[in-house]
Amino acid sequence: MFYPYGLFYDSSMLILIPAILLTLYAQAKVKSNFEKYLRVPTRKGYTGAQIARMLLDQNGLRDIPIEMARGQLTDHYDPTKRVLRLSGEVYQGSSVAAVSVAAHEVGHAIQHANKYIPLTFRNAVFPIARFGSSAAWGFIMIGLLVPHLGALMDIGILLFAAAVLFQLVTLPVEFNASSRALELLDNNGFIYSNEEKKGAQNVLGAAALTYVAAMASGIAQLMRLILIRNRRR
């Protein structure tokens, strides 16, 4: 007989181990690279906010404001309010890490302005994915606890799959933003020494790895849920 606690303790947990290890590695990589290149100044000496402003203006996005956000690595572009937010270390800093992150967020703003198809699709999927990620486990647990409502688990799995789809489509969006960032920084001479270029690549590459890890975790969890459902039946 299958018991609900098996959702947490059964042998299917093994499916999650590689994804968990990748997630831990990605988090450590991001932290170490960001902190390392936060101490490496650029020769130009522009702050992340100055770089972002110049790149936005250069691409006809003068109406997008730049705000300072609280916390570390909280940098993001908000497509709903059309505002770019940078953490204090990035906003005020002139390090390789600061300008790389700032340029990456500008990359997202340019994607939005150019109606970059993967970003447009991700924004369309986001409301469903947000609902799916929050509601999925409720349906799944009810389906496990109440045998004759087992169909609810299928609904939960479909909702969870929508969240995984969002993570999947996030990958090309993030990789493209990083590619744009490196090109913008290089073409404008904001980074030009080999050390600066390598640093920017390492910072943005480590950040991209976190999205790969998130997708891997989502897929692994989805596979595990399907396995549990099939075993239960």
| Residue 18 confidence class, pLDDT cut points 50, 70, 90 | very high
Is the confidence at residue 219, as pLDDT, over 70?
yes
Question: How many CB atoms sit inside 10 A of residue 83's CB?
Answer: 15
Active site residue 89: no
CA distances to 104, 106, 109, 115, 203 from 39, in Å: 19, 22, 27, 35, 12
Q: How far apart are CA 46 and CA 224, in angstroms?
A: 48
pLDDT band of residue 214 (cuts 50, 70, 90) is very high
Instruction: Report DSSP state, residue 13.
Output: G
- Give the confidence band of 232 by pLDDT, cuts at 50, 70, 90: confident
Name the CA radius of gyration of the chain, rounded.
21
Catalytic residue among 105, 174, 183, 195: 105
> pTM for the full model?
0.88
Res 168 pLDDT > 50: yes
pLDDT above 90 covers a percentage of the chain that reads 77
pLDDT tens track for 81-118: 999 999 999 999 999 999 999 999 999 999 999 999 99
